[in-house]
Structure 1
Amino acid sequence: MTPLLALDNVSKTYFNGDLAVEVLHDISLDIEAGEFVAIMGQSGSGKSTLMNILGCLDQPTSGDYLIEGENVASFDGDELAALRRRTFGFIFQAYNLIPTATAQENVEVPAIYAGVPASDRHERAEAILQSLKLGDRLHHRPSQLSGGQQQRVSIARALMNGGRVILADEPTGALDSQSGEEVMALLRQMNDNGHTIIVITHEREVANEADRLIEIRDGRIIADRSRKRRANPDAAIGLAQRTREGFAAIADMSEAIRMAMRALRANLFRTILTLLGIVIGVGSVVAMLAIGTGAQDSVLSRISSMGSDLLLVRPSMANFRGSPGGSNVTLVPPDADAIQDLPNVAFAVPEMTSTVTLRRGNIDYQTTANGTVPQFTEAKSWAVGRGEFINRNDMETYAPVAVLGQTVVNTLFADGTDPIGQYVLVNKIPFQVIGVMNEMGASAGGNDRDDVVLVPLTTGSMRIFGQRNIRTITVKVQDAAAIDLTQERIQSLLNERHKREDTRITNMSSVREAFTETSNTMKLFLGSVAAISLIVGGIGVMNIMLVSVSERTREIGVRMATGARRRDILVQFIIEALVVSAIGGVIGLVAGLATGYVAQYFGMPVAFTAGPLALAFACSFATGLIFGYLPARNASRLQPAMALSAD
């Protein structure tokens, strides 16, 4: 009989410039329908890469991969998406749920791309969640669910389209023992129902639950043992296979708009700022110079509020090319110490961040861990409200201490307990709370700055992040007038330390100067103020969409893993840009009319006609289409495996 999945001398090599790293070496493997297989190996053994190839999230460098005897090497992107849609269901260690969607909406994602009608999707998703004892959590978002509940939602998502093959990557890795046992019992039940189960794990006790154990080391299979038990594979008939092949409901414009509105609501404040550029542009077409001048003052005011005495040091984009997951391999803490010693540098604050799970009692909460240094509070102008901040001794002794943001305190200590001196688990590691930061509120991007746990950089590097490289160094200069010279000194210092130019420095003063020049041009060419305003608004849309693509890289990977084609992703992000522009156009028309009538009230000559109103709205719509295309194209060109491994 033809095996369901067959690998024939498959190898996988990653390229980083001229450096080639072979992760898999001539793997040959057959998996029959209905098997329960565990692939076990330590970190770096190649098991996750093997899973990505098995799930058509990545392609081998050499060798053949056959599914039911058909070689997938000749499949294009849409054919691979259709294959994932009708054949595979994925369960991830990090759950990979869309944070802005409810449990039911997360489960429905694969069916959207399979073309299942909305009513059928809702009914099936609810039924699966009910069967997994999540009937009372249908409308809860991932942040409102425990780790075990989130994993069950991801299992429900894997079952949504029927999923003949369920690929589970470390499904119990982020769970406590009881939740892990429940997940393994669910996998066994799914196998009994006819699903082919492939579990990727490094834990022997998890692997022993399977009927077949494949051990992998250094990219080679070193053992393959089977107990010959196999379920009835005919029992699992995918829902996706009963739909029209190649059709995806994302083509339904109403569904695409609904998904766009949900994404925009998730970052409401940032969306409002994006709308502001379009509103100003359209309003300037209608009300001309008055709104144009307002746009100038608004943009310069926001740039000034960010501070003109800051430099942000990051790795150059070229440093990420070819590096799986985009990990930072450039900046290290001694770089910040060296920058601190330069003239005119007030502070050089290194930071590394990662999403972590906090636990206190029976409360699990996902937040951002920020590894930093004692100068953080002064550099960021953010004071400690209670207790104390990280000190030099904490850094030198790798102390497991933490300072909490107010949002984290409100969540973990809702019972009124004083957090100072208490212990919380950070990714299952106990940290003692030594302080609570003053409340800061939302950032300019709409993110909650109080939703953070601050730990010593040394402790975080060793015990949480698992790396010594830092993501950014924020430099505050003493004299803003000499910021350009300081920037040159920092760049020269880093080039000398790294023996190459692999960092880039963002100068907020230069950004402000660029906007000032644009504003002066707008004043010189009064007749072009409307067009310039629209271009600025369009650039704002493009920047925000690029940020959105960057922040939602893993979500894009999840959508691709569940069957989204490249054009589905392209359409979704273009529609998001169009929705922003259309809403901004309507508000801009109203604002322009209102401003015109106010100007008219104060004696200015104003004449409104239908032509400019229609032209203004058409221009706003075109702006969204033109400037939204590039971020949408970038999103659609992401590789699923790389997107899923993004931070």
Structure 2
Amino acid sequence: MDTPLISLRGIGRTYHNGDIATTVLQDIDLDIQAGEFVAIMGASGSGKSTLMNILGCLDRPSCGDYLFAGESVERLHKDQLAELRRRTFGFIFQSYNLIGSASARENVEVPAIYAGLPRQQRQQRAAQLLGDLGLGERLGNRPSQLSGGQQQRVSVARALMNDGQVILADEPTGALDSQSGRDVLELLKKLHAQGKTIIVITHDRDVAAHAERLIELRDGRIIADTRRSPEPVAAPAEPQAPAPERSTQPLQDLLEAVRMAWRALRSNLFRTALTLLGIVIGVASVVVMLALGNGARQEVVDRISSMGSNLLLVRPGAPNTRRSMDGSTNTLSLSDVNVAADIANVVVAVPEMNGRVTLRSGNTDYQTQVTATSPDLPLARNWPVAQGVFIAEQDNQSHAAVTVIGRTVANNLFGDSDPLGHYLLINNVPFQVIGVMSEKGAAPWGGDQDDVVFVPLNTGSLRLIGQRHLNSITVMIDNLSLAEQTQEAVRQAILLNHAGVEDFQIRNMASLLENVSQTQNTFTILLGSIAAISLLVGGIGVMNIMLVNVTERTREIGIRMATGARTGNILQQFIVEAVVVSALGGALGVLAGLGFAWLLQALGTPMVFTLGPVLLAFGCAFATGLVFGFMPARKAAHLDPVVALNAD
């Protein structure tokens, strides 16, 4: 005799619930030849559904051996069992087990997706099968829009999608009216006539009467095996499926996973929107905070750079000490300026004396700061004159009473009038305005840089400030790469000029700029880290929603496994769903963050937009979906098919 298509030897199935063991099947010996129409009948609790699950490789027996076409099923791992189900079996369930969020055609296509059939081919085949079953006008209807009989016909079409050799029908007429039940039985008989092996699980003798062979179960044992027709000739064990044997198609699998993910997310828009909200807030926070931090850093850097990053500031007083009030720090002189100016790599050395003065123009009095300096100050400070001219060396030599005023002084004393050529009193000494400086803005340490008047050094020393020592020396260097060497050379020169007494200190603006940048970078990272907490919370929300999804869609997972989905397919689907949510939320968050940052910029807050934070935020959102979606996806992928199918 030919090898049976299905052969069971000593099959038993025991379920364990803690210390309690329940035996459902025991000592089952059964052979089913290819092409048979078999009815397995028994009362509720007799073990017939458990037997069907074992026959369909949805469940494993606790003992015994199951041979399919002469090969032991026991040796197959989960993915090999999925391949066997996909190639060989078609399931018709009593409760239809259709995916609620998918249309009739999409439900029928499911087995072919995992069989690797191209999308266009499987759509055509699904439409043809549904058309043959009288549902040609219902392709786009969801299960909730179909009657019970129509849903069962969709289930039949799905069972036929991969042209499996064995059709397993569990109570196929149990939930149908009489006419729909007769229609389904006629379909099964027609499939049998085409050479399919039909195995029907039922408790109804009228249904069992349509089969050629009746197997009766009671208390988990076979009590009768009756044939109503001669034993059929064994057909080939391999099914003649239209779908090709599965090959490695990562791109196609990924596209299908994205489509299914999008459909699943659309089916519950409100929940998806709430999940998106957490990601959107997190990503937008990262974008705004980093733009704000970079903007603050850039503003400080710009202010310092506006003074000149290639400057050395020499001030009186020993290093790391405060200037005393007794005049002991009044040690800088013009000779120090001259020795500094002679150092290689020094462009100019500018002396400065400072003091507070009262200005008067007409009936307006105004207090500000006066700086007595040399003609080289605009070059050293990178501060051009907007109107008129700056102080000349001749003005300094002749003690000329001329002044150049800052923009703030010009606005307060002269308003919209042109101040050039006008006289103003500085501490009751008349000075002629010969120039107005360009607008400089706020100083890095605070204060208004434009609130100042400049006078020749000798004039200010003699007639306004009343001192000969300098408050500071600004040294402009040429090559920034030699800044440290130049600073040391200036220090040594002035130290020699002071007879070896280091009663002064030098600040390198380039180093200050670097330190400030590092401090602001730390501040930016801090802001980004605070914002990243929001993204982390959003990621936890994604994981929570995906866990809820897995729980709610356990039956769908079982359906997909029954129709041939491998562990990797289920894992991929739920990870892709989490990634799609996170990526969509990331994109919306980037747009929201940029929009809010632009609004803040329009309101006067300094913001700097760079591609890095945007990519970082979006990448973090994407990674969040990947990381936080893995645990729910892994849980879904490792569900037992029969347990998943029986979930409420």
| TM-score, reference length from structure 2 | 0.62
1:611 and 2:623 matched: no
Query: In structure 2, what is the equivalent of residue 410 of structure 1?
Result: none
Q: 1:148, 1:631 → 2: CA distance?
A: 35
Q: 1:167, 1:537 → 2: CA distance?
A: 44
| 1:529-568 superposed matches below 5 A | 529-568=530-569
- Give the aligned residue type for 1:10: I
Query: In structure 1, what is the equivalent of residue 185 of structure 2?
Result: 184
Q: 1:145, 1:536 → 2: CA distance?
A: 41
In the TM superposition, what is the alpha-carbon distance from 1:535 to its structure 2 partner?
Answer: 0.8
In the TM superposition, what is the alpha-carbon distance from 1:605 to its structure 2 partner?
Answer: 2.4
SS, match of residue 228 in structure 1: coil
- The answer to whether the 8 Å contact 2:88/2:238 transfers is no
- The answer to whether the 8 Å contact 1:276/1:584 transfers is yes
Q: 1:25, 1:535 → 2: CA distance?
A: 52
Q: Which moved more, 1:95-104 or 1:602-611?
A: 602-611
- The answer to whether the 8 Å contact 2:290/2:613 transfers is no
- Give the aligned residue type for 2:95: A
- The answer to whether the 8 Å contact 1:42/1:217 transfers is yes
Query: In structure 1, what is the equivalent of residue 93 of structure 2?
Result: 92
Q: 2:605, 2:189 → 1: CA distance?
A: 77
- In structure 2, the CA distance between the partners of 1:176 and 1:89, relative to structure 1 (3 Å rule), is same
- Give the aligned residue type for 1:271: T
Query: In structure 2, what is the equivalent of residue 583 of structure 1?
Result: 584
1:71 and 2:54 matched: no
- In structure 2, the CA distance between the partners of 1:123 and 1:198, relative to structure 1 (3 Å rule), is same
Query: In structure 2, what is the equivalent of residue 472 of structure 1?
Result: none
SS, match of residue 66 in structure 1: strand
In the TM superposition, what is the alpha-carbon distance from 1:273 to its structure 2 partner?
Answer: 0.7
- The answer to whether the 8 Å contact 1:279/1:587 transfers is yes
In the TM superposition, what is the alpha-carbon distance from 1:528 to its structure 2 partner?
Answer: 2.9
- In structure 2, the CA distance between the partners of 1:64 and 1:120, relative to structure 1 (3 Å rule), is same
- Give the aligned residue type for 2:276: L
Query: In structure 1, what is the equivalent of residue 494 of structure 2?
Result: none
1:195 and 2:196 matched: yes
Q: 1:249, 1:48 → 2: CA distance?
A: 36
- The answer to whether the 8 Å contact 2:6/2:67 transfers is yes
- In structure 2, the CA distance between the partners of 1:634 and 1:240, relative to structure 1 (3 Å rule), is farther
CA deviation vs aligned residue, 1:201-238 (integer Å, no higher than 9, x gap): 11111111111111101100111101125667659974
- The answer to whether the 8 Å contact 1:66/1:72 transfers is yes
Q: 1:129, 1:552 → 2: CA distance?
A: 25
Query: In structure 1, what is the equivalent of residue 391 of structure 2?
Result: none
Q: 2:637, 2:111 → 1: CA distance?
A: 17
Q: Which moved more, 1:119-128 or 1:560-569?
A: 119-128
Q: 1:144, 1:233 → 2: CA distance?
A: 41
1:150 and 2:165 matched: no
Q: 1:276, 1:3 → 2: CA distance?
A: 58
Query: In structure 2, what is the equivalent of residue 110 of structure 1?
Result: 111
In the TM superposition, what is the alpha-carbon distance from 1:163 to its structure 2 partner?
Answer: 1.3
SS, match of residue 28 in structure 1: strand
Q: 2:51, 2:606 → 1: CA distance?
A: 71
Q: 1:235, 1:83 → 2: CA distance?
A: 15
CA deviation vs aligned residue, 1:346-395 (integer Å, no higher than 9, x gap): xxxxxxxxxxxxxxxxxxxxxxxxxxxxxxxxxxxxxxxxxxxxxxxxxx
In the TM superposition, what is the alpha-carbon distance from 1:242 to its structure 2 partner?
Answer: 5.6
Q: 2:241, 2:606 → 1: CA distance?
A: 62
- In structure 2, the CA distance between the partners of 1:71 and 1:573, relative to structure 1 (3 Å rule), is same
Q: 2:579, 2:608 → 1: CA distance?
A: 29
Q: 1:582, 1:239 → 2: CA distance?
A: 41
- In structure 2, the CA distance between the partners of 1:26 and 1:13, relative to structure 1 (3 Å rule), is same
CA deviation vs aligned residue, 1:375-428 (integer Å, no higher than 9, x gap): xxxxxxxxxxxxxxxxxxxxxxxxxxxxxxxxxxxxxxxxxxxxxxxxxxxxxx
SS, match of residue 8 in structure 1: strand
- Give the aligned residue type for 2:529: S
SS, match of residue 108 in structure 2: helix
- The answer to whether the 8 Å contact 1:113/1:249 transfers is no
Q: 2:187, 2:234 → 1: CA distance?
A: 17
In the TM superposition, what is the alpha-carbon distance from 1:602 to its structure 2 partner?
Answer: 2.4
Query: In structure 2, what is the equivalent of residue 7 of structure 1?
Result: 8
Q: 1:239, 1:621 → 2: CA distance?
A: 42
SS, match of residue 20 in structure 1: strand
Query: In structure 2, what is the equivalent of residue 56 of structure 1?
Result: 57
Q: 1:599, 1:563 → 2: CA distance?
A: 54
Q: 1:250, 1:159 → 2: CA distance?
A: 26
Q: 2:291, 2:18 → 1: CA distance?
A: 52
Q: 1:226, 1:633 → 2: CA distance?
A: 46
- The answer to whether the 8 Å contact 2:117/2:243 transfers is no
- Give the aligned residue type for 2:24: V
Query: In structure 2, what is the equivalent of residue 274 of structure 1?
Result: 275
Query: In structure 2, what is the equivalent of residue 37 of structure 1?
Result: 38
Q: 1:606, 1:24 → 2: CA distance?
A: 72
In the TM superposition, what is the alpha-carbon distance from 1:603 to its structure 2 partner?
Answer: 2.5
- In structure 2, the CA distance between the partners of 1:629 and 1:578, relative to structure 1 (3 Å rule), is same
- In structure 2, the CA distance between the partners of 1:243 and 1:4, relative to structure 1 (3 Å rule), is same
CA deviation vs aligned residue, 1:69-91 (integer Å, no higher than 9, x gap): 10010001111011001000000
- In structure 2, the CA distance between the partners of 1:22 and 1:241, relative to structure 1 (3 Å rule), is farther
Q: 1:248, 1:558 → 2: CA distance?
A: 22
Query: In structure 2, what is the equivalent of residue 160 of structure 1?
Result: 161
- Give the aligned residue type for 2:599: V
- Give the aligned residue type for 2:203: H
Q: 1:2, 1:248 → 2: CA distance?
A: 35
Q: 2:177, 2:78 → 1: CA distance?
A: 38
In the TM superposition, what is the alpha-carbon distance from 1:288 to its structure 2 partner?
Answer: 2.5
Query: In structure 1, what is the equivalent of residue 256 of structure 2?
Result: 255
CA deviation vs aligned residue, 1:315-360 (integer Å, no higher than 9, x gap): xxxxxxxxxxxxxxxxxxxxxxxxxxxxxxxxxxxxxxxxxxxxxx
SS, match of residue 550 in structure 2: helix
1:123 and 2:111 matched: no
CA deviation vs aligned residue, 1:512-537 (integer Å, no higher than 9, x gap): xxxxxxxxxxxxx8663211111111
SS, match of residue 137 in structure 1: coil
Query: In structure 1, what is the equivalent of residue 321 of structure 2?
Result: none
Query: In structure 1, what is the equivalent of residue 24 of structure 2?
Result: 23
- Give the aligned residue type for 1:18: D
SS, match of residue 573 in structure 1: helix
Q: 2:575, 2:141 → 1: CA distance?
A: 28
Q: 2:252, 2:570 → 1: CA distance?
A: 11
- The answer to whether the 8 Å contact 2:4/2:234 transfers is no
SS, match of residue 178 in structure 1: helix
Query: In structure 1, what is the equivalent of residue 504 of structure 2?
Result: none
- The answer to whether the 8 Å contact 1:116/1:249 transfers is no
- Give the aligned residue type for 1:546: L
Q: 2:249, 2:600 → 1: CA distance?
A: 50
Question: What is the number of equivalent residue pairs in this alignment?
Answer: 415
- The answer to whether the 8 Å contact 1:281/1:534 transfers is yes
Q: 1:249, 1:43 → 2: CA distance?
A: 44
Percent of counterpart pairs with the same letter? 65
SS, match of residue 243 in structure 1: coil
- The answer to whether the 8 Å contact 1:115/1:249 transfers is no
Gaps of 5+ in 2: 293-525
RMSD: 2.1
Query: In structure 2, what is the equivalent of residue 132 of structure 1?
Result: 133
- The answer to whether the 8 Å contact 1:581/1:621 transfers is yes
SS, match of residue 137 in structure 2: helix
- In structure 2, the CA distance between the partners of 1:178 and 1:235, relative to structure 1 (3 Å rule), is farther
| TM-score, reference length from structure 1 | 0.62
Q: 1:250, 1:147 → 2: CA distance?
A: 37
